Amino acid sequence: MSSDLTRRGLLKAAAVGAVIAHNSTAADGLSMPDGAQSQDRSVYVRRSKALVEALQTQWYHAQPIPGWGREQNEWNAHCTLDTLLDYTRITGDRAYIDTIRFVAGNKLLLDSAVNDGVDDMAWAAIAHVKAYRLLRNKDSLAAATQIFTTMTHYWDDVCNGGVWWNRTRTYKNAITNELFLVLATSLYEATHQPEYLTWAHKEWDWFDRSGMINAESLINDGLDHCRNNHQTTWTYNQGVVLGGLTALYRFTRQKLYLDQATRIASAALDRLTTNVNGVSILKEPVTVPNSDQQQFKGTFVKYLAQLALALPQASVPRKKFTSFVCENADAVWKGARNDANEISVYWHGGDQPPIYNATTQTCGIDLLIAAVSLTR
């Protein structure tokens, strides 16, 4: 899976239709008055459930390989699996356990992701660690550990370290190394084997020195000739790293990891958002996101919530991040959702025809789940 505009096919055709705004008297009973920020966990739980139900009704298929819609690649399908796992753990709703077990147990889907690319296999492995922790399925843990071992074979001394994005070893980029960091910390948390923590420190030490974090505390796409290539600062590049840094803080209690994560997250909120009626709404830095980029915003908010939960409850950054997530969740529910409970890729609205598919739906669920985790 590529994080560059030129690396994955043509843009997906935009779906037609208007975005349906819902007012406080909507039949679902879940909408808030205009401008309200609910900050109510039960509201976000009900809304996330409605979106998951729409996801399963509109896009889930079991054959020939389980997944959600033809638009998704294997890495997208594993992101949706990851989101269903988060939904189950965070809300306590176990209605989709059988789907999770079936998708996580499908070897064809896993093999397809492993064969597609180094970062694609990492997305799959992270989901499988979560599947193991929820289901105690040793096959999922074995798959994740094997993928981790494979990824270590793509680490070498070029640019003084780091994992290659592709099997042909022509590009070292941010997302592959961020995923490797998260996978290492996830496996350490699941197994307590010290080699994973050693690799996590090795990865972060390299990443921090790589030059991919620019002067604005945003992360560019990757390296050309071992230097920051100044390509697009995609939202997911700002997000995944937050998960790795937050985990390193949990393991070490060294505040420097939270401080760096907070700088990156704050920069993203400052520079990767657009103002809509006084609310900063997350927006990808591209006019029409392609099938890869449609996944990115959900990934960002997923890991932003993890960071916020690690910060002191009364701290200014935690309050800021919580408010951002809830305001975006309320705005998306009101302005980026149609009457079938489908979420458009354009959280900020705008003039482009809305795009609805399983990937944009997954991102909407990520946002609502983040709000659930941050509210009481």
How buried is 149 (Cβ within 10 angstroms: 0-12 exposed, 13-18 middle, 19+ buried)? exposed
Residue 235 and residue 286 in contact, taking contact as beta carbons nearer than 8 Å: no
The predicted pLDDT at position 38 comes to 54
The predicted pLDDT at position 148 comes to 98
- CATH classification number, 18-54+140-374, choose in 1.20.1250.20, 1.50.10.20, 2.40.37.10, 3.30.70.20: 1.50.10.20
DSSP strands (E only) in 15-130: 60-61, 67-68
- In this structure, are strands 227-228 and 273-276 parallel, antiparallel, or unpaired? unpaired
Residue 206 and residue 160 in contact, taking contact as beta carbons nearer than 8 Å: yes
Give mean pLDDT in consecutive 10-residue pieces for the chain, a chain of 376 residues: 38 33 35 48 97 98 94 95 98 98 97 95 98 97 98 98 97 98 98 98 98 98 98 98 98 98 98 97 96 97 98 97 98 97 96 96 98 94
Residue 352 and residue 346 in contact, taking contact as beta carbons nearer than 8 Å: yes
What lies within 8 Å, CB to CB, of 24 at 6+ separation is 31, 32, 33, 34
The predicted pLDDT at position 187 comes to 98
Residue 298 and residue 364 in contact, taking contact as beta carbons nearer than 8 Å: yes
Query: For the whole model, what pTM was predicted?
Result: 0.90
Give residue limits of the domains in the chain: 18-54+140-374
